[in-house]
Amino acid sequence: MSQLTLSESGLILSQPLQKTFRTAPLAAGQSVSWLAWARYGDDQGTHGACAMFAFANWGECVARAKPDGIATGRGIVKGVEGGRNITNKETIAAYYDATGGLDEGMVFPDAYGASKRYAWHSGSTYLRAITGDELLVNQPLLLGLEITDDWTRNGNVAGDGRFKSTRSSRALGYHAVLQIGKGCPPQWGGGTWIYILTPWRLDDGQPWGWNGVAALPQEYVAEWCREVWAIA
């Protein structure tokens, strides 16, 4: 099995580097999931377009859910099929259009402006920096993570997306992802897990994690998350 190449990141931090993210129970015993509405299997290839893909994935996910629809640990509530499929080609083209043809990564605010021009999300007025995941019940969240070599070590990300080990402290760069869930799967021995969607595939074309979805321990995300954004 091929390993993931480091060239597939590309986020530039838009805020001073700081550990401000906090994870906490959204409600007593509650889990939240947007997995039923997300689209999977995107591939940014070697382009540094992760921030653009995060906004494309956000737009696709929200377009498939009714305004008052959420998904909880008790099952999907008021979900609806449909919505737009923003292709890899469209997303990568939007990235280069926004960067003037340069492949140097992006900050979240610039990616948000570009996604608005392409009407990937309607009715929004601004991008809001937050410090926790309480708004996950209302929408998927955009995370800027400092990734370690746990992401790229061969065999560390299981077929179900679960990280087998998060012991590495060697940082590799910054990466934009979409948080689409949070829960406590009993089959994984307890603890809270954060579900993220990323447009990665392995060098041999096979899906990374579970079709681009990974489950990270809450403590790991709290340590390595550098930015959190919501769309208002």
Instruction: Give domain status of residue 213, yes or no.
Output: yes
Number of domains within the chain: 1
- pLDDT confidence band for 27 (50 / 70 / 90): low
Instruction: Give domain status of residue 224, yes or no.
Output: yes
Q: What is the pLDDT of residues 38-74, one digit of tens each?
A: 888 899 999 999 999 999 999 888 877 754 444 333 3
Instruction: Give domain status of residue 1, yes or no.
Output: no
Instruction: Give domain status of residue 51, yes or no.
Output: yes
| Cross-strand bridge partners of residue 137 | none
Give the C-alpha separation, 50 to 138, whole Å.
23
| Cross-strand bridge partners of residue 19 | none
Q: With b meaning 16 or more CB within 10 Å and e meaning fewer, what string describes 47-80?
A: bbbbbbbbbbbbbbbbbbbeeebbbeeeeeeeee
User: What is the DSSP code string of 135-203?
Assistant: GGGTS-EEEEEEEETTTTSTT-B-TTSBBS------EEEEEEEEEEEEE--GGGTSS-EEEEE---B-T
CATH no. for residue 125?
3.90.70.10
Q: What is the pLDDT of residues 159-173, one digit of tens each?
A: 888 999 998 888 889
Residue 93 neighbours by CB under 8 Å, 6+ apart = none
Q: Tokens standing for 52? A: 């653009």
Could you tell me the end-to-end alpha-carbon distance of the chain, in angstroms, rounded to an integer? 41
Question: How much is the pTM?
Answer: 0.86
Q: Tokens standing for 225? A: 């998350």
**Phi–psi pair at 141, nearest 5 degrees:** -115, 150
Which of 9-23, 98-112, 202-216 has the weakest average pLDDT? Answer: 9-23
Compute CA 153 distance to the chain's CA centroid, rounded to the nearest angstrom.
19
Is pLDDT at 140 greater than 70 in this prediction? yes
3-state secondary structure of 76: strand
- The confidence score (pLDDT) of residue 1 equals 31
Domain carrying residue 207: 6-231
